[in-house]
Structure 1
């Protein structure tokens, strides 16, 4: 399994922006260059475990929050993101989003059943 460094970088950038920190501030706090932070955020550089933990600690997020696009068991992270997504929605937006989610879920399960039947017939 390969790590998705672009997804990790994107999550780092989002967490950094939410904390209102600059790349320079993160770099200063963990002892790397701002350019390296930039390269990590764009996925142009891999991030060591030590640096990833330092970034997570600085941003007060879990490493799971940063790796959830690569880790197979990440349901809790995505449930938290879904909850946060709804927090600033009005009633109409929530209703529309829930309708879209229901339709998407049904479609996913229908396609999965269809794929399973094809596999059974092979």
Structure 2
């Protein structure tokens, strides 16, 4: 299995921005160069397990939060992500998001039934 380093980097960047810290500040906290952190965030370099743990600790998130796009069982992380997304929506946007999610679930289930036949 190949890890999706772009997805890991994107989650690191989002968590860093939520904490309102710069790449330079995070790089200093985890003892890497700002250039290396930039490369991690863009997914253009592989990040070590040690660095992922340091980044998670510095950003007050779990390693699962950073790796969930690569995990089979990551439901809690995705549920938190969905809730965070909805928290920023107005009533109309929540209604539309629900309709889109419902249609997506129905399409996936319908496709799964077709593939089982």
Pairwise TM-score range, normalised by the shorter structure: over 0.9
Name structure 2 gaps, 5 residues minimum: none
Please state whether the residue corresponding to 2:105 is helix, strand or coil: helix
Structure number with bigger Rg: 1
The Cα of 1:12 is off from its aligned counterpart by: 0.3
Report the number of matched residues.
117
Which residue of structure 1 lines up, in the alignment, with residue 34 of structure 2? Answer: 34
Q: Deviations over 1:71-102 (max 9, x none)?
A: 11100000011111111212111111111111
Q: Deviations over 1:28-59 (max 9, x none)?
A: 11111000000100111111111100000000
Which of structure 1's runs of 4+ aligned residues deviate more than 6 A? none
Task: Give TM-score scaled by structure 1 length.
Answer: 0.93
- Aligned-residue RMSD, C-alpha: 0.7
Name structure 1 gaps, 5 residues minimum: 118-122
Task: Give TM-score scaled by structure 2 length.
Answer: 0.97
